[in-house]
Structure 1
């Protein structure tokens, strides 16, 4: 027993001495703490989780401590009772301790996080609203208060400063309908970008583009979200280059009342008004109205602009309204109605007098407080396009030679239903998307006859999306969508040759699966890495399937055998960093490939069916060609210097290469048309409510080819344009001035040949006054 006890004594003797030393040390520290007013505490967030790395500064002594991994600290105060707690991602907290200071108390203080881009919520990039820090896609969000959305004439104007976004409004405000194009990531065509209004697609079924950029009042926009890369796993067809969601303002508890009046160059007049409020009985309403008119300008060079050409002009009326009701049983019912009247007149030797009316209607129900969160949207879009065209009569020297009259009614109706539930870290969304469209095109050519085509395009789709949080840092986005696409009742009629041609086309359909997988990892609360893999597709539209008509300098022949275009893959690698409210940096590199891309190619006249008469015009037919590789870099940086002053810049680099062109291998290795390799933009913004708003903007677009042949004499030259915005507020009244193309740079808005090109607008001025409650 004695040897055993001795061994225990030897084993614990060292530990006993250590305990004795520690006891004496703590006794000394406790005595010193009492004398020097040592205090201890913990810094936490709203959920009670400790915040590491917060700095505690003692007044007149400077920084004294930093919190540990659990948010704890321990400092000596001396005689001071004033502290400041700071952290790069949280608002500073000033603390005044009570007198006398208790050294035995454990102080707990709450920090409120700073609002940063990564903490913002996107309603577009995921099947359900999600914090940006949990989304793997490259996303830009423009809010109503951002400088890009101030004093805009058109909604698409605000997008021109974002990386990866190319905006083409070649003749300024007079550009209407589908001639306004938004292209993401150099995919070459506006109909490869999906445009949503409050989550509902507004790409038309005629060409697949968007003719409704002008059909929303510019003062109705609450935010614009741009998601780059394929979004077909959520939204289906057309989202190959990316998705743009126009989110309109909803009625809130604070009354909304605003009016705006502007006048500027080219006899341009613009006015809008809005009013709305949410009432105490659960009802809320908001309405917007906007009117625009402009006389345009001579958009061709003097050598091409003939004396009898007319400057284009445009007149536009928008009325948008939203009614909301909070149901007693939970959830919100919303009704939305839009009406647009657009009347442009343009042309050169032929004048096109157009009139388009558009009506969009939505009924939606959502309950984000339920355990299983439902959202149901039923919608109907109706568009009527009418055009009367007149050719120049050299004898009477007037546009009195009637060419043709056309009418194109478009009907789209659909239902989107989805349900979301959070289960063991998974935010699972299951949904169905039904969309049915009908196109009828009728043209009457004076002295010749009729030419009509029609067709239906339908989508029956189901999708599953899961947003998974694995711990605090790793997030996964996974999605899969199934689309059954079909074209039905295709029909063509033509009696212009004196013999009636009546063709009924076979129905066509296909089944398409589009997966997506994305990962984000938060190295720090303000620094994350992300990667995403996705695919996409675009179904061919009725115009390319069934139409056969002269267009510009060629005869365009439809092709009912067209297949959907495919984004075979798209892979992103990106990073986002934020330093408090001062610095934001975002960069993404990507590589993608799309196949079966659609374009028009010259064909031999012997291939034209005998019942078509193209006259003396060359014939182009729409076909699926081959494969194109795209790769590039998009980046953005903003630095807030302070006191209302900030700098921002974006850079977009894109390379395209045709790697297979089935009908003409000589095109392989060439670049896609209208695809500049380099695009840069930047701004200096000073915005202080008590003083004024001043922002100077610059946009640079590198040179690029105007055709797939990469013809040197159809190259668009590089151009740099500067814009200026100035505003001054006195209470609810603001006076503003915009100067676009400040140095009156002359450059091409579009260019197809040396004898046919458009100049973009020169220097233009717009001034106005607005009232905002």
Structure 2
């Protein structure tokens, strides 16, 4: 199935005429914090940013964060087993160190993982279940955030003391049960938030259950010229993990797609995060914001995807400080800051079964890494006229690693253990943008940004025998963006953007087992985000992305399906994706929403010899206001019962799939004050 632009727009027009939809409120000014750490009106930012507010998240009632982020153009999450996922933001689906380090995951503005210790499944660290909103920055954001903000930033923002009290319980036909609760209290200058959520599920696949609990505690103080916002959050995850199914026949067989060949696979993870943001006015022109923070996490899982079936354990803890200072004087504003972080991390990998090929029994790796990062940034803005402004920024990051091998150095089987060593990386991330208001309702912008990140510690120190040469270097990307936002006749809101990005020092391991440290890729695309209010009760929204992600170098390997040719599509990079939502407010008590999620065909190997045909999935959600305090939600996910894949891959001579869930009926009750 090859989805075309013609068929897509035809479907959009048809949907506009026939789809049910929610009513939308009048457009209100949207303030975002993810672009500069300080609140800014979205329409004045020369960058592609999407905001999912509480109403959109409630309606979506996502069982996995991939369902929520499907509403954002240019973002694609491949859902794995349980809470796992792989991410794409203006990129192919990235794995390994690239998948972990190319996207920056924040909660309330603070990174959930240290720069060199990222988690490829990092969004399960977030408390998205009760989020007040989720902000997504598409494209590099290194001038403010530095490392890992190569392809984009996802910032999950939890409720503050002004939020509505609520309790939600839900269940569905996959034996999945959820609970979410938020309660707030204000007294004078103090505000309090207590939030908790939990999920338990038997799993669509055999032996693939999940249990996860999360909490957030928040205290806000606003008085005596000082604002203090302290947040403590954490989670615990225990899941049985299902691996790929193999072959197209399995994907289309209702029994085989539920099987799990890896009955012993599991993932256990937990984390605690503490931060306190202190804001105060230094003078009538200068404001300071200082955020000390602490993070701790650990994870253990079975590497069911390798012949070794080894158990990996990793952990790290950090203390850090973010500081931001803003200055405004007429047409000139300046934002500057200094960020410091100290991290202690560790990783071990142990194989308990007897030797398999070159996978030796016993300890593969056991090492510790101390990391220190110091970063400084400055951003200046000049308002030429009331319609035109120029912004320029630069950030310098220094990241130092001290690696300490806890076992014998040298080669053991296929594993290479390095001697103790120190590594140091300096990266520079400049940015330049111009914004112009053509009218009160139409704003355009052009933006150049450069992103950079140091290598992941696992890419540097977790090596195999063919990886002694070509060590990882800082990955860098240059991005150009041209965008427009417009409100047309109070009924149509459009954001359209085109981008071109070139990436160098793309690091990965090829099919022959050798490092590729100097890979080059190109990413070009257009994105469209629209909201069309047909009447007071009918609306249509669409998030559409067309992109090409290509290799810009040649590399021959002994595996014909992994040889790379200049100009080929990168595997797992669909060109066209779309999320179209029709909403209909039937009356004051009943609302309906129909969502069409469409993913184009994509190649599953680097040589572009194998592919997944893509899919179209429909989801129906309804909401019934039983009274002013209780809402009943009913949903049917995968309405047409498609046998599709959340993720497709080709490796070791076989097609491999993570099957999507078949038709699923769900019901929820939300109690509000």
Are 2:498 and 1:589 equivalent residues in the alignment?
yes
Q: What is the SS of the residue equivalent to 2:80? A: coil
2:643 corresponding residue in structure 1 = 746
2:88 corresponding residue in structure 1 = 183
1:769 corresponding residue in structure 2 = 669
Contact 1:265 1:765 in 2 (8 A): yes
1:268 corresponding residue in structure 2 = 176
Contact 1:740 1:765 in 2 (8 A): yes
Deviation at 1:151, TM superposition (A): 2.0
Are 2:27 and 1:116 equivalent residues in the alignment?
yes
Alignment of 1:314-329 (within 5 A): 314-328=210-224
Are 2:629 and 1:735 equivalent residues in the alignment?
no
2:405 corresponding residue in structure 1 = 491
Assess, with a 3 A threshold, how the Cα gap between structure 1 residues 643 and 359 changes in structure 2: closer, same or farther. Answer: same
Alignment of 1:468-479 (within 5 A): 468-479=382-393
1:758 corresponding residue in structure 2 = 658
Are 2:57 and 1:161 equivalent residues in the alignment?
no
Deviation at 1:207, TM superposition (A): 5.6
Are 2:194 and 1:287 equivalent residues in the alignment?
yes
Which of 430, 439, 442 pairs up with 2:348?
A: 442
Assess, with a 3 A threshold, how the Cα gap between structure 1 residues 537 and 194 changes in structure 2: closer, same or farther. Answer: same
TM-score if structure 2 supplies the norm length?
0.84
Assess, with a 3 A threshold, how the Cα gap between structure 1 residues 689 and 202 changes in structure 2: closer, same or farther. Answer: farther
Q: What is the SS of the residue equivalent to 1:186? A: coil
1:465 corresponding residue in structure 2 = 379
Are 2:569 and 1:674 equivalent residues in the alignment?
no
Contact 1:127 1:429 in 2 (8 A): no
| Bigger relative contact order, structure 1 or 2 (CA pairs below 8 A, ≥6 apart) | 2
Deviation at 1:368, TM superposition (A): 6.1
The whole-number CA distance in structure 2 between the counterparts of 1:197 and 1:428 is: 25
The whole-number CA distance in structure 1 between the counterparts of 2:116 and 2:468 is: 13
Deviation at 1:340, TM superposition (A): 0.6
Which of 134, 137, 150 pairs up with 2:44?
A: 134
1:516 corresponding residue in structure 2 = 431
Contact 1:215 1:318 in 2 (8 A): no
1:528 corresponding residue in structure 2 = 443
1:341 corresponding residue in structure 2 = 236
1:364 corresponding residue in structure 2 = 277
Deviation at 1:547, TM superposition (A): 1.7
Alignment of 1:396-415 (within 5 A): 404-415=310-321
Compare 134-143 and 485-494 and name the one that shifted more: 485-494
Deviation at 1:406, TM superposition (A): 4.0
Contact 1:493 1:503 in 2 (8 A): no
Which of 628, 631, 637 pairs up with 2:524?
A: 631
Are 2:151 and 1:238 equivalent residues in the alignment?
no
The whole-number CA distance in structure 1 between the counterparts of 2:516 and 2:553 is: 13
Assess, with a 3 A threshold, how the Cα gap between structure 1 residues 499 and 680 changes in structure 2: closer, same or farther. Answer: closer
1:353 corresponding residue in structure 2 = 266
Assess, with a 3 A threshold, how the Cα gap between structure 1 residues 148 and 518 changes in structure 2: closer, same or farther. Answer: farther
Contact 1:461 1:481 in 2 (8 A): yes
Q: What is the SS of the residue equivalent to 2:386? A: coil
The whole-number CA distance in structure 2 between the counterparts of 1:237 and 1:205 is: 6
The whole-number CA distance in structure 1 between the counterparts of 2:434 and 2:311 is: 53
Q: Which has the larger radius of gyration?
A: 1
Q: What is the SS of the residue equivalent to 1:561? A: coil
Contact 1:331 1:366 in 2 (8 A): yes
The whole-number CA distance in structure 1 between the counterparts of 2:109 and 2:499 is: 25
Deviation at 1:676, TM superposition (A): 0.7
Deviation at 1:746, TM superposition (A): 0.9
Unaligned 5+ segments in structure 2 are 1-24, 243-260, 355-360, 558-562
Assess, with a 3 A threshold, how the Cα gap between structure 1 residues 475 and 409 changes in structure 2: closer, same or farther. Answer: same
Report Cα offsets for 1:382-433 as digits up to 9, x if no partner: 1111346899xxxxxxxxx996544322223211011111023122111011
2:258 corresponding residue in structure 1 = none
Report Cα offsets for 1:175-221 as digits up to 9, x if no partner: x2xx3123111254243121211111124556634544234444431
Q: What is the SS of the residue equivalent to 1:146? A: helix
Assess, with a 3 A threshold, how the Cα gap between structure 1 residues 598 and 406 changes in structure 2: closer, same or farther. Answer: closer
Alignment of 1:76-91 (within 5 A): none
1:708 corresponding residue in structure 2 = 606
Report Cα offsets for 1:213-271 as digits up to 9, x if no partner: 2344444311111121210011001112121211111112x7x3211111112211111
Report Cα offsets for 1:598-641 as digits up to 9, x if no partner: 111134xxxxxxxxxxxxxxxx2443132211111001221112
Deviation at 1:465, TM superposition (A): 0.9
Q: What is the SS of the residue equivalent to 1:507? A: strand
1:542 corresponding residue in structure 2 = 457
Deviation at 1:525, TM superposition (A): 0.5
Compare 241-250 and 208-217 and name the one that shifted more: 208-217
1:614 corresponding residue in structure 2 = none
The whole-number CA distance in structure 1 between the counterparts of 2:304 and 2:480 is: 49
Assess, with a 3 A threshold, how the Cα gap between structure 1 residues 258 and 598 changes in structure 2: closer, same or farther. Answer: same
The whole-number CA distance in structure 2 between the counterparts of 1:246 and 1:559 is: 39
Alignment of 1:83-102 (within 5 A): none
Assess, with a 3 A threshold, how the Cα gap between structure 1 residues 313 and 206 changes in structure 2: closer, same or farther. Answer: farther
Contact 1:152 1:218 in 2 (8 A): no
1:305 corresponding residue in structure 2 = none
Report Cα offsets for 1:53-85 as digits up to 9, x if no partner: xxxxxxxxxxxxxxxxxxxxxxxxxxxxxxxxx
Are 2:645 and 1:645 equivalent residues in the alignment?
no
The whole-number CA distance in structure 2 between the counterparts of 1:514 and 1:769 is: 47
Assess, with a 3 A threshold, how the Cα gap between structure 1 residues 696 and 421 changes in structure 2: closer, same or farther. Answer: same
The whole-number CA distance in structure 2 between the counterparts of 1:248 and 1:738 is: 25
2:8 corresponding residue in structure 1 = none
Contact 1:494 1:501 in 2 (8 A): no
